[in-house]
Amino acid sequence: MAYIVPSSADTLEDQRLYTQARLTEVACLDCLARVGVKKNSEHHTSIQWHAESLAECAEFRRLDAAPTGRPIRASCPRMQASIDAAVRGGQLTIGAEDGY
């Protein structure tokens, strides 16, 4: 639960720009979970997972079932491969032309 809730229009717009602007939907080539992705550079990828995509991700379900649960910073290599394929295929561009 958020402990600081933005209230000013400028802050809300900043929040939208950082979490939603220029997101491209990418589907996992394995389990078909869909996430929002933004590639600001070759080495910086922002991925917005939603409750539905978390539930659909086969890798996360496997990790969640482990005795210790899913590590907090765990990623899905299958989704990363799908994002890389989207970049190679031209469906996802690299660069933050607008600063976001």
Q: What is the pLDDT along the chain (100 residues), one digit of tens a residue?
A: 566 776 788 787 877 777 777 889 999 999 999 999 998 888 989 899 999 999 999 999 999 898 998 888 888 999 999 999 999 999 999 986 665 5
Neighbours of 2 (CB within 10 A): 5
* Model pTM score: 0.78
Give buried/exposed letters for 57-94 (b at 16+ CB in 10 A, else e).
bebbeeeeeeeeeeeeeeebebbeebbeebbeeeebee
